[in-house]
Structure 1
Amino acid sequence: MEPFFVGTAGWGIPKQYAGAFPGEGSHLERYARTLGAVEINSSFYRPHRPSTYERWAASVPTGFQFSVKLPQEITHTRRLVDLVEPLARFLGEVRALGPALGPLLVQLPPSLRFERAIADRFLGDFREKFDGQLACEPRHETWFSDVADAVLRNHHVARVAADPAVVPQAAQPGGWLGLVCIRLHGSPKVYYSAYAPETVAATAERLRTAPSEAENRWCIFDNTALGEATAQALDLFRQLQ
């Protein structure tokens, strides 16, 4: 069975679900004893020292995985262009996670259109420096074409299956299918709304029946504003056991 990685965006433990994360220690230590993965979003807003990543990696059990979001400087400010210095700096930081480093997440701004030459150059440069798991969450409709999918596939980059989906294809995994990554942001109200139990059950089935080449299958709940992500990640994790 291919490994499943289920978690939330950030490892904060809402008060109403504290009982699901027993024992002593930091929130991360308690979280990691119950769930097997987490997404680091703070890296989007600010850099973290390698020593910070090392400390986080030392706080979790063997097999736990961190997904890390690329800085906004790369995706939103520079818009995938002129990235030698910021990309090298970011990779130098996150490599301190060692074996606990999971997929790096490239979440693109909604206004960023697909331009083949820029995407190909960015991903080619990225792959020269990083051979680990890489997922991309585009949010402009031009990224959901056969050409864009082929560029992602050629560089072994998974396209995130996202909800809400900007176009119908955005709800399905794409690009390279050696990694399947689902990100659920909350619907109808992004970051706030809980998903119905049948949606969580359907997500479990999607992960179980992902393409056979999928070596890793991820689901991150991002509906964290009211703590819904925590309950739903726990529910999904139990269904996949």
Structure 2
Amino acid sequence: MPGSVYVGTAGWSVPREYGAMFPEPGTHLQRYATQLTAVEINSSFYRPHQPQTYLRWAQSVPPAFRFSIKMPKLITHVQRLQNCEALLDEFFSQCLQLGDKLGCLLIQLPPSLAYDAVVTAEFFRILRQRYFGSVVLEPRHETWRAASGLLIEHRIGRVAADPSPITGGTTPGGWSGVRYWRLHGSPRIYYSDYDMNRLQVLAAKIQLSAQAGAETWCIFDNTASGFALGNALSVRALSGPWFDGD
């Protein structure tokens, strides 16, 4: 069976130039969800959200819509994956209110965090005690190239990031059951637009991933100049029937 495909942006803002494509009434999230089936919540990285907020978001979107949630920086950047059981419990008490609309957890690591097999194995163990769904990791230190075996063991995909500071980091790695492209914008991170040639190549990779049966995500994070939404809509159109996993 083909895997599901989720295409969206980091956040659900609708720049003015795209307003005519989202004429339906409602909140920004409700309007956004009429055209795309996924969104990445980055604000959870900076601050907690009330459980009722996640529940309201879940109730605002269609049944097929899914959220990707970025793990708090208190876990990844402050505690650096260590001694964070209580923080994980707090985080999950909030975001699990999304119910089946919670599609994926994104763990983005600081560039200074090198791979430590013992620390990582323990973190993955306590994470998997609490959450069994899709998880992806975006490491930014070259040493994480050695983590493939551990990622596969715990069913965690490695993000294909553009740009990536890791050799081979523009290609999905780790567990192949979930593949997550995260497009930050290049050459100027957060600002650069992706031309149609790049988007066509990306759409072809998404189709191959879906054909292989993987849960496939494509999130555009080049939001600073408003290009993310247009790029996501283009990939949705280029992905054709694979967009909804049909």
Provide the TM-score with structure 1 as the length reference: 0.97
Q: How does 1:227-238 map to 2 (within 5 A)?
A: 227-238=226-237
Per the alignment, residue 190 of structure 2 pairs with: 191
Give the SS at the match of 1:169.
coil
8 Å Cα contact 1:161/1:173 also seen in 2: yes
* Cross-structure match for 1:144: 145
Q: Distance in 2 between matches of 1:33 and 1:211?
A: 22
Q: Distance in 2 between matches of 1:65 and 1:53?
A: 12
Q: Does residue 1:171 correspond to 2:155, yes or no? A: no
Q: How does 1:44-55 map to 2 (within 5 A)?
A: 44-55=45-56
Matches within 5 A, 1:1-241: 1-145=2-146, 148-210=147-209, 213-241=212-240
**For 1:185-207, what per-residue CA distance to the aligned partner results, in whole angstroms no more than 9, with x for missing partners?**
00011100011211111110111
Contact 1:53 1:93 in 2 (8 A): yes
- SS of residue matched to 1:199: helix
Deviations 1:91-118 (A, max 9, x none): 1111100110010000000110000001
For 1:30 and 1:108, how far apart are their aligned partners in 2?
31
Deviation at 1:212, TM superposition (A): 5.3
Q: Is the 8 A contact 1:177 1:214 kept in 2?
A: no
The total of aligned residue pairs comes to: 239
Q: Match for 1:4: what amino acid?
A: V
Name the counterpart of 2:244.
none
CA distance 1:81–1:49, shift in 2 (3 Å): same
Question: RCO higher in 1 or 2 (8 Å CA, sep ≥ 6)?
Answer: 2
Q: Structure 1 stretches (4+) deviating beyond 3 angstroms?
A: 211-215
CA distance in 2, matches of 1:126, 1:214: 25
Q: CA deviation at 1:168?
A: 3.2
1:91/1:159 CA distance change after superposition, 3 Å: same
Task: Give the Å deviation of 1:166.
Answer: 1.0
Query: Contact 2:5–2:210 at 8 Å: present in 1 too?
Result: no
- Structure 1 unaligned residues grouped into runs of 5+: none
Tell me how far apart the structure 1 counterparts of residues 98 and 17 of structure 2 sit (CA, whole Å): 30
Q: In structure 2, what residue type is equivalent to 1:227?
A: G
Contact 1:70–1:104 (CA<8 Å) still a contact in 2?
A: yes
Q: Which amino acid aligns with 1:144?
A: R
Q: Conserved in 2, the CA contact under 8 Å of 1:177 and 1:211?
A: no
CA gap of 1:212–1:23, structure 2 versus 1, over 3 A, is closer
Asked whether the equivalents of residues 193 and 227 of structure 2 are also in contact (C-alpha less than 8 Å), the reply is yes
* TM norm structure 2: 0.95
Is the partner of 1:153 in helix, strand or coil?
A: helix
CA–CA distance in structure 1, aligned partners of residues 82 and 213 of structure 2: 30
Partner SS state of residue 209, structure 2: coil
Gaps of 5+ in 2: 241-246
For the residues of structure 1 that align with 2:105 and 2:197, how far apart are their CA atoms?
29
What is the CA RMSD across the aligned residues, in angstroms? 1.0
Superposed CA deviations along residues 27-64 of structure 1, whole A, max 9, x for unmatched, are 00000011000000000000001100000001000110
Instruction: Give how far 1:211 is off.
Output: 7.3
